[in-house]
Structure 1
């Protein structure tokens, strides 16, 4: 079921391998459906344009025509009920804006133009580092404005509480599934991203929201159509141009794949429009059908409470569970109902009132359904559906059963069955190999198990040394004031450690170069420890906004000239160092580097794959990384580089961008404060101390932890 896939992708780290496999299977099934539709002629296509201007112009025209056609084909009456219903059904898309693009840029490719443009477009969807402008946050506000308070999209209760139809998560699930394999599905992702920018809000949804007094003029609509959307679309168009212009590719095939991503998105949203319009027309606006659905949902809770009652000479408890349609028909003729007059009906005046046997059994929304149903019943007439309904039978009036395609999706939970393999990392994968595999994880699907094991071992070692040395736990009981005092004192001490620009440079030129070379595996993945914080479910949170901003700054905010690894590559070229592509095995195995050069970056890449599991440790690591060179080490490095007439941009940039006032160090501190604020408010003192120790373990983990002699007998384990 697609709702389950949506949930599992939102909780990817629980089962990386299985979820990625399921996501690929889903995408391939959509491809097969698309191919079949093209062969049958039921979907239009044309010879793909290889000129980017022609391709984009044709897709723009297609999207504009499609939007107007969809409104004509699938009109939906604007009532408060339909606005609430459609807004909830659109939530999988509305609460995950730009999700097709969320992994296009990552540690392995952030220095390249195509991913950089994709990242710049993604910035628009997430509000340019502001939760107040984040489109997911704005859509949640819109939902709440209609009186709907849904769980977060990573919750197992999201699909159930939203009452999702089976088609409602399909488009978002498609985009999320594509996002897990940006290397394999890059063209389709750009086609899907272009469609989302062309159709910023589903035309059916937008028509309803702009018509309704409840939602007209809501900031979500303003945000989805602001002037920056055109700039975001230009970035996608530039990414498409860059992809079509890459050497060695078949531009015609790539253009066709871009069109496929666009066409599939259009088809899935069109199918959703049809299902929504049909559901509203046939079910939502028919009070009798709504009542049947209410009884169908509630009946299992009613069994056992009405053993002495009968309805139409049938035992009440059995009737309500086994035959909701006829139960509603007979209920309409019972003594509890005054047809056409809900205010006079015992069901609503006595049974559900204070002191009644069903007080607070029904929600306010469910009581509204019951009132509307009773009000719709004509006095003295049959309670069956209207005669213009094809569900009416000749034998007896009956209420239509709900077609299977309309039934609400089951809760999006996943339980591993005995048939599913339980994978655990076995054997040893060294830091060099792990570094290489994680940078090429689409070709190494089992690497995530090794990454999890590597991160746990690393953190376990860090725990053993966290109680002593200069980075020992500074205080056991966390308070914001204590952390701030420690932070400011640490920043001051680092600044005072700088000997000044007049110092003598004793370090030989060769040593300066050698030290710079050994940093390449680390700096080429700058920001990699927070690369997954681009994802829906993370980026719209307070912590996520801060970490996303840090990652985006490290990779240049969509500008390859500002990309930190590229600036460092310029330094390497100036030093006369020629290196293989850092994603290649030749780089990972190069004798230019010591084994130690890959340890910290391998840990960064490993922990980044588990942003929820290792959240407090990631926050501590982030602070350690951002604060590490500010004030002292970066300024010393600048003097050394300048002495030998090397470019100092990299260290100059970090000494400013990581500053302890408003820069990355300050953001890292703020992220910890946000996290610990929740821990202090919701956890016991002992539990809060545990969370603080986990944060500090992450801080300590920036340094390569020493292996203890105890590992001869047992591998260290990390317990939280």
Structure 2
């Protein structure tokens, strides 16, 4: 469940699993029955609990340090926290969508998320800081991408419970919006995860510890993130009648899950102070494979194969027998054959145990009492993590939903993050159709992007294009401006496109893509289009203001009334639907999105934006929209430059044999902003067995 929820193109949560998640949410609420207190008012008690827990873990680590086993606890605590800390804030990743990009609450949530992913910088998310900790401790074998943590058998199921459910809910913001806000607030009230207190004390300068505290801001100029989370919860609670209940339910569930998990981790770490605990875990995990090679070696009258067969469920009897075997010298690992000759370069078990496993075995041997009677009396501590199963409802025929009947309906459906499988298939076919048109005749056509990627990167080419735009602008200075009515109509027909500014990049709000080497540019671009949390800079809102100056007051973008508005023509929705559709597949169509992004960001800089400014100014309309785009899209430090750098970085990571194919895909994406529309181009899409709407 955790691994699936990490996929940015994951299909919607199966309806069969929804009752199980609802039951989990309700179970926490039932457990915490009592007077309903607003989540924001629970902050002090949650913070106090977290402080107590941090002190509790710090004391445990101090005891382990005196006993000489603190490194074991550091390693195990780091692994236990990994599923949650590696994706800190990821549950907010789909809370913004093209249909709500003008709303104040959405922008507040996106501002929180932008801080979590370190907007504008690669590998700067809170999760990236945690990966650095795991790499420092050399326990990051399965840590990147985060979905691979599910393959790490050193991490108990309990550690996946909270992040798996939270991330799964994040893929259904239409159902769990309030619960997501509530659980986010709870986690920020808690701050740094309590088990990490001992790790931080042990490694105070190893990483950026501020990043691992979700209650704190990432930059000095921002208020604490927990204050922003409280403001989000308060604003959302006022927006709908049941919102406060949903927030409280998410908050209560997260707090209950955290308490249970902290107790589980504490018990595990406490047990791990005894070397026999880790040795028992090691034997249990390796017994199955080892049994195949030990049918002839006898220990206390039984084959080692028999011992190991039992050790898969109960390793203690085998460990007791092994401690009394000639392979082991209790208290003296350096003199024991098990950690000496058997695993040496000439031994029969050479490289069977990696260094970490050998350290576990040596630690166990060194802790064994010399007296056989005392060894017989000692029984290692046991701690078995609770197995967690979310039981879905009985299988039933899955309702794929209805595919959009036309492009206007597709626009409305695709504005939302959550879509039906039928709509998803429609989106995929639509993108493939559009790209088939874009590829038609590409080798014979003249387009700005050269046939091969420039050896010195795209920046020089970018400057050449800017010069062309500038020359075209100056040569056209004497041309007549459009009539007022024509200007208003063209501005109106661009509304379905412009009111979803950045929609082609919506997939890059996925947590791990937003902070990746290339994705950070794309998320920062998307974040800029929406005003970086400042509604006065929000591009859709700025455009609506221009339309109102022109006497046009459109319905909310997400409403069915918007798509049905009679003043908008069908063809005005064709390109917006392509944007909305391709934005859902940031991995499948990465190369094409990079090309489209470059075309879009460069399209008006230095030329058409300046021309549009003249026309708007001529008739007394605000020029803010075109002014702001001409500056933030600039070719030196703006979105156009970022787009070029992203493509250069993408190509640099391709194998030489794959680079030409990747470049062709980028060129097709670039051309897709304005693909050919003739008969043969449409026929190219049909040959790909795709039904193309008549207006495309």
Specify the alignment match of 2:246 in structure 1: 257
Q: Which of 285, 288, 296 is the matching residue for 2:276?
A: 288
- For residues 65 and 156 of structure 1, the distance between their equivalents in structure 2, rounded to whole angstroms, comes to 32
Matched, 1:468 2:447: no
Q: Which of 38, 50, 70 is the matching residue for 2:53?
A: 70
After TM superposition, give the deviation of residue 61 of structure 1 in Å. Answer: 1.4
Contact 1:522/1:601 (<8 A) preserved = yes
User: In structure 2, do the counterparts of structure 1 residues 173 and 562 end up closer, same or farther at CA, with 3 Å as the change threshold?
Assistant: same
Specify the alignment match of 2:200 in structure 1: 210
Specify the alignment match of 2:178 in structure 1: 187
After TM superposition, give the deviation of residue 422 of structure 1 in Å. Answer: 9.6
The secondary structure found in structure 2 opposite 1:130 is coil
1:624-639 aligned within 5 A: 624-639=599-614
- For residues 615 and 151 of structure 1, the distance between their equivalents in structure 2, rounded to whole angstroms, comes to 24
After TM superposition, give the deviation of residue 154 of structure 1 in Å. Answer: 4.3
Matched, 1:297 2:285: yes
The secondary structure found in structure 1 opposite 2:518 is helix
- For residues 522 and 633 of structure 2, the distance between their equivalents in structure 1, rounded to whole angstroms, comes to 13
Q: Which of 646, 649, 655 is the matching residue for 1:671?
A: 646
After TM superposition, give the deviation of residue 562 of structure 1 in Å. Answer: 0.7
- For residues 712 and 68 of structure 1, the distance between their equivalents in structure 2, rounded to whole angstroms, comes to 63
Q: Which moved more, 1:154-163 or 1:504-513?
A: 154-163
Which 5+ residue runs of structure 2 have no aligned equivalent? 65-69, 390-394
Specify the alignment match of 1:457 in structure 2: 433
The secondary structure found in structure 2 opposite 1:358 is coil
Contact 2:288/2:309 (<8 A) preserved = yes
After TM superposition, give the deviation of residue 26 of structure 1 in Å. Answer: 4.8
- For residues 695 and 651 of structure 1, the distance between their equivalents in structure 2, rounded to whole angstroms, comes to 26
Contact 2:185/2:226 (<8 A) preserved = yes
Matched, 1:7 2:27: no
Contact 2:299/2:322 (<8 A) preserved = yes
User: In structure 2, do the counterparts of structure 1 residues 534 and 442 end up closer, same or farther at CA, with 3 Å as the change threshold?
Assistant: closer
Specify the alignment match of 2:352 in structure 1: 361
User: In structure 2, do the counterparts of structure 1 residues 285 and 31 end up closer, same or farther at CA, with 3 Å as the change threshold?
Assistant: same
Specify the alignment match of 2:392 in structure 1: none
Q: Which of 654, 661, 675 is the matching residue for 1:690?
A: 661
Specify the alignment match of 1:405 in structure 2: 386
Q: Which of 640, 653, 661 is the matching residue for 2:636?
A: 661
Q: Which of 68, 72, 79 is the matching residue for 1:81?
A: 72
After TM superposition, give the deviation of residue 421 of structure 1 in Å. Answer: 7.9
Specify the alignment match of 1:575 in structure 2: 550
1:223-622 aligned within 5 A: 224=213, 225=216, 227=220, 230-246=223-239, 249-250=240-241, 253-282=242-271, 284-323=272-311, 324-381=315-372, 387=378, 403=384, 405=386, 429-442=405-418, 444=420, 446-471=422-447, 474-476=450-452, 478-481=453-456, 483-499=458-474, 502-622=477-597
CA deviation digits over 1:256-281, x for unaligned, max 9? 33222222221111111011011122
After TM superposition, give the deviation of residue 197 of structure 1 in Å. Answer: 2.3
CA deviation digits over 1:450-498, x for unaligned, max 9? 212221222222222322323276123x354153343332222122211
Contact 1:423/1:449 (<8 A) preserved = no
Cα RMSD over matched residues? 2.8
Contact 1:133/1:223 (<8 A) preserved = no
The secondary structure found in structure 2 opposite 1:187 is helix
Q: Which moved more, 1:137-146 or 1:187-196?
A: 187-196
Contact 1:11/1:154 (<8 A) preserved = no
User: In structure 2, do the counterparts of structure 1 residues 422 and 266 end up closer, same or farther at CA, with 3 Å as the change threshold?
Assistant: closer
The secondary structure found in structure 2 opposite 1:230 is coil
User: In structure 2, do the counterparts of structure 1 residues 601 and 339 end up closer, same or farther at CA, with 3 Å as the change threshold?
Assistant: same
- For residues 292 and 336 of structure 2, the distance between their equivalents in structure 1, rounded to whole angstroms, comes to 24
After TM superposition, give the deviation of residue 401 of structure 1 in Å. Answer: 6.6
Q: Which of 16, 25, 43 is the matching residue for 1:60?
A: 43
- For residues 570 and 512 of structure 2, the distance between their equivalents in structure 1, rounded to whole angstroms, comes to 36
1:24-43 aligned within 5 A: 24-37=18-31, 43=32
- For residues 487 and 422 of structure 1, the distance between their equivalents in structure 2, rounded to whole angstroms, comes to 49
CA deviation digits over 1:342-378, x for unaligned, max 9? 0000111111111111111111110000001101111
User: In structure 2, do the counterparts of structure 1 residues 280 and 600 end up closer, same or farther at CA, with 3 Å as the change threshold?
Assistant: same
Q: May I ask how many residue pairs the two structures share in their alignment? A: 669
